[in-house]
């Protein structure tokens, strides 16, 4: 499904007569850079697990990736995380300047909803997808989590404080990905609940792995700067739990995510493989 996602992202950002050339170039530079495409894959795999043709879900998958990419471009800005390397390339503001990078993020966020509205589905489904994505990107989720993350936590905070940040900053976009897939596939309540449980566990495991890779991962393989959390004195899973316990927690969360898929049987094969990828990932 990854090649189809790449082609759809390319197609959706290819034209648009009135879009300034440099803006288009900067949008495509960030969006088409080699990301893992975890979130769009989750949309399509969840849709598939619910019996919906994943190819018809491509606009929704691309919309979630656009929101994710906007958040990366803005997070990298000097006013936020001030990073110079992303997806193996100089960050958007390093390459195109800060003003254009801010506008790339703005454009991607708006375009995400425009693209979502291209779903060829009854309006009621489109509205539900828009509502879910807007909530996941908004002040109670992605943006709120980012605000609290930037403010930082005291070294003696509880694990629950850290998890509250990650549930919003990282988890919300991951959970909404499977929720949108479930909406497309007209999932019943038990299936939606199973997918929620899967993606909540997956999202937390993904974040803990991210913290561990920031310590032990390779900047070249990851395509982003490592060692930043320690340099900023940030509270992370490894600082609160230690590395070994953090690894164990990741394994437990992935086991729980995979367990949650059981009621879906063979239909969830792809989602199951994706959970194993998150456990083993080195980028
Ligand atoms: C600017 C509102 C706003 C939010 C920024 C994305 C983000 C929130 C912060 C980036 C820092 C960070 C460690 C976030 C946790 C989520 C995360 C691991 C993002 C990177 O996602 P990947 O690894 O990236 O899926 P690719 O490049 O593969 O798509």
Q: Ligand 1: does its nearest atom lie under 6 Å from the Cβ of 38?
A: yes
Q: Ligand 1: does its nearest atom lie under 6 Å from the Cβ of 170?
A: yes
Of all protein residues, whose CA lies closest to atom 9 belonging to ligand 1? 75
Pocket test for ligand 1, best of 6, 75, 235 (most atoms within 8 A of CB): 75
How many Å lie between the centroid of ligand 1 and the Cα of residue 122?
A: 32
At 232, list the tokens: 């900023």
How many Å lie between the centroid of ligand 1 and the Cα of residue 184?
A: 25
At 62, list the tokens: 């691309």
90 - beta bridge partners?
85
Of all protein residues, whose CA lies closest to atom 27 belonging to ligand 1? 35
DSSP letters, 79-148, are TTT--SEETTEE-HHHHH-HHHHHHHHHHHHHHHHHHHTT--S-HHHHHHHHHHHHHHHSTTTHHHHHHH
Q: Which atom of ligand 1 is nearest to the CA of 37?
A: 29
Q: Which atom of ligand 1 is nearest to the CA of 87?
A: 27
**pLDDT in 10s for each residue of the chain, 283 residues:** 899 999 999 999 987 789 999 999 999 999 999 999 999 999 999 999 999 999 999 999 999 999 999 999 999 999 999 999 999 999 999 999 999 999 999 999 999 999 999 999 999 999 999 999 999 999 999 999 999 999 999 988 999 999 999 999 999 999 999 999 999 999 999 999 999 999 999 999 999 999 999 887 778 888 888 888 888 888 999 999 899 999 999 999 999 999 999 999 999 999 999 999 998 887 7
Closest residue by Cα to residue 119 from 58, 183, 37, 193? 58
221-237 burial by CB neighbour count: b if 16+ within 10 A, else e? ebbbbbeebeeeebbbb
Q: Give the tens place of pLDDT for each residue, 61-82.
A: 999 999 999 999 999 999 999 9
Which residues contact residue 132 at a Cβ distance below 8 angstroms, ignoring those fewer than 6 apart? 176, 179, 180, 183
Q: Ligand 1: does its nearest atom lie under 6 Å from the Cβ of 36?
A: yes
How many Å lie between the centroid of ligand 1 and the Cα of residue 210?
A: 9
- Rounded to whole angstroms, the maximal C-alpha distance in the chain is 54
Q: Ligand 1: does its nearest atom lie under 6 Å from the Cβ of 167?
A: no
Q: Residue 221: in which H helix or E strand, if any?
A: helix 219-222
Please give the Cα distance from 283 to 278 (Å, whole number). Answer: 9
Write down the mean pLDDT value for the chain: 95
Q: Which atom of ligand 1 is nearest to the CA of 74?
A: 1
Q: Where are the alpha helices (DSSP H) in 13-91?
A: 21-31, 38-49, 58-75
pLDDT for res 184: 97
Of all protein residues, whose CA lies closest to atom 26 belonging to ligand 1? 35
73 within 8 A of 112, measured Cβ to Cβ = no
How many Å lie between the centroid of ligand 1 and the Cα of residue 173?
A: 10
């Amino acid at each position: 499904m990854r090649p189809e996602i790449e082609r759809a992202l390319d197609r959706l950002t290819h034209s648009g007569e009135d879009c300034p050339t440099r803006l288009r170039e900067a949008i495509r530079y960030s969006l088409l850079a080699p990301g893992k495409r975890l979130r769009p894959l989750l949309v399509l795999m969840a849709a598939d697990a619910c019996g919906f043709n994943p190819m018809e879900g491509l606009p929704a998958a691309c919309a979630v990736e656009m929101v994710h990419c906007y958040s990366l471009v803005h997070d990298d800005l000097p006013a936020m995380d001030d990073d110079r390397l992303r997806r193996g390339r100089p960050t958007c503001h390093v390459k195109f300047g800060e003003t254009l990078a801010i506008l790339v993020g703005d454009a991607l966020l708006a375009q995400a909803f425009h693209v979502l509205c291209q779903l060829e589905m009854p309006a009621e489904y489109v509205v539900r997808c828009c509502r879910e994505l807007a909530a996941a990107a908004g002040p109670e989720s992605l943006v709120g989590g980012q605000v609290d993350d930037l403010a930082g936590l005291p070294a003696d905070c509880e694990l629950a404080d850290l998890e509250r940040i990650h549930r919003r900053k990282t988890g919300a976009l991951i959970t909404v990905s499977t929720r949108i897939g479930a909406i497309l596939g007209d999932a019943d309540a038990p299936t939606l609940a199973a997918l929620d449980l899967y993606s909540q566990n997956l999202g937390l495991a993904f974040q803990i792995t991210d913290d561990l890779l920031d310590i032990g991962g390779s900047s070249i393989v990851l395509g982003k700067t490592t060692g930043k959390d320690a340099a900023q004195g940030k509270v992370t899973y490894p600082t609160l739990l230690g590395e070994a316990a953090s690894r164990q927690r990741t394994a437990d969360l992935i086991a729980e995510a995979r367990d949650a898929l059981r009621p879906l049987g063979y239909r969830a094969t792809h989602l199951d493989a994706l959970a194993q990828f998150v456990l083993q990932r080195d980028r």
